[in-house]
Amino acid sequence: MIKLTVNGKSYELDLPSDMPVLWVIRDRLGLTGTKYGCGVAQCGACTVHMDGEAIRSCVTPVSRAAGKSIVTIEGLEPSLSKPLQEAWTEIDVPQCGYCQSGQIMAAAILIRDQPQPTDNDIDNAMAGNICRCCTYLRIRQAIHLASRLKSSNAMLSAI
Q: According to CB under 8 A, which residues from 53 to 112 bind other proteins?
A: 53-56, 59-61, 64, 72-74, 81, 84-85, 88-89, 92-101, 104-107, 109-110
CB 6 within 8 A of CB 70: yes
- The reply on whether position 128 binds other proteins by CB under 8 A is yes
Residue from 4, 70, 125, 146 that binds other proteins (CB under 8 A)?
125
- The reply on whether position 145 binds other proteins by CB under 8 A is no
Q: How far is the CB of 159 from other proteins (least distance, A)?
A: 23
Q: How far is the CB of 57 from other proteins (least distance, A)?
A: 10
Which residues are paired to 3 by β-bridges? Answer: 12
CB 132 within 8 A of CB 97: no
- The reply on whether position 144 binds other proteins by CB under 8 A is no
Q: How far is the CB of 3 from other proteins (least distance, A)?
A: 17
In this structure, what DSSP letter does residue 75 have?
A: G
Q: How far is the CB of 156 from other proteins (least distance, A)?
A: 22
Nearer to other proteins, 5 or 61 (CB): 61
In this structure, what DSSP letter does residue 85 have?
A: H
User: Which of these, 23, 28, 35, 32, lies nearest to 11 by C-alpha position?
Assistant: 28
User: What are φ and ψ of residue 118, in 5° steps?
Assistant: -85, 170
Residue 86: C-alpha distances to residues 27, 132, 141 (Å): 29, 22, 12
